Amino acid sequence: MQHSISHRVASTKTRIFKEINQHGNRQCNSGVAATNQQTHKLHKHTIRRLQSFTQIWNVQQRLNRGDQQAMSNSLIKLLGSMANVEVTLKAEIEHPKQAAKTDYSETEKTIVEMLTESTGAHFLDSGGAYGRNWEYNRKIADFREQPQCDVKIEADCISIHYNLFHFLNNHCIVTEQSKKLQTEYEQLLKEYPDSYEYEIVEDFTKQYGEGSTLYNTYNDETLLSQGFLYCIFDAYDTQDKNVYQYVLIKTHNGCDIRGGYSQAKIFQINGDSDYFIIDMQDLDAHCQCGYCNAYSDDCGYNWNCEESTSHDYKDLSNLNNITQTPNIKFEDRYNLVDDKAVCKRCNTQLEFSVREG
């Protein structure tokens, strides 16, 4: 048994090294810089993890000598952990992190770091088939160039998403006080490494009020392109002697919603915290003539039409004698043509927009 485990560790180490070296050669051949420092870092990380697995097995074997069931469980956990290291390293190699744009603002840089943070991989998760958020985000050269409101029309369905980078950039800001709070929170994590983070968040926010807990956007209907955990709390700014609202955020960077969350980042909320929540669901639609002007406060499931009469119709010859028609449902005011929603009156494409705080 001991021999088979050692053989498994050795073969795993060899296989990972081979993949790392092959990846480095591919990068060099394609003209992409593959630094020795990065490769060495991966090698070191791999050796350290594999050595720790061997040590864990040896200790557990001694402790569980004579207990076949416990030994079997230990073996399963060991091999599972080793498999996770393999798939994580493979994913890291295939999806390298790009250098951050030098002209990102401090807030933008912090958001991008969070969205591109690797939260690892599990050999049984569905990320192997569908991909993981951190892998997808690492392909984006400049997050600012992503559309704020992404509209897709398939068959008779309009799908609208609020890009998470833009949502956070519109509603959050890094300040000197938020950085101080970040340092305090990270220190608390170090002091209680074995505690659940939900408990640490509540203890941390209790210092500034009643205490809050983490909420998951997955549990509500939102327009967001990517989910996250968040906790809103008030804190006193020692510089200007005012109380501001802050939000602690952990973006979901994995595939399965049950795991794969980034390290927490703390921001000051840019505006009122009510709009931080409301704007996850609010949506506007409009056309050139105003017939399709509408808003939704539930992600587009229900629409309230606010037909405009302020437009200049001189250039729209087919729009004589426009009258209010509030009883006509929003979905009956447009046609779906190819991949566009087109107003039945002015024949122009509908434009959808999200709230910016």
pLDDT band, very low/low/confident/very high, at 30 (cuts 50, 70, 90): very low
Question: Which letter, b or e, does each residue of 140-177 get, where b requires 16 or more Cβ atoms within 10 Å of its Cβ?
Answer: eeebbeeebbbbebeeeebebbbbbbbbbbbbbbbbeb
pLDDT of residue 115: 97
* Residue 14 banded pLDDT, cuts 50, 70, 90: low
| Domain chopping of the chain, boundaries | 2-94, 134-278, 282-357
Q: Answer whether residue 73 shows pLDDT above 80.
A: no
Does the pTM of the predicted model rise above 0.85? no
57: pLDDT strictly greater than 60: no
C-beta atoms surrounding 233 within 10 Å: 23
pLDDT at 207: 86
Segment 202-227, tens digit of pLDDT: 889 988 877 788 999 999 999 999 99
Give the end-to-end CA distance of the chain in Å, rounded to a whole number: 61
- pLDDT tens for 122-141 read 888 878 778 899 999 999 99
Residue 322 has pLDDT above 60, yes or no: no
pLDDT top residue among 116 and 60: 116
Using the predicted structure, report yes or no on whether residue 143 has a pLDDT greater than 60. yes
- Calculate the average pLDDT of the chain: 81
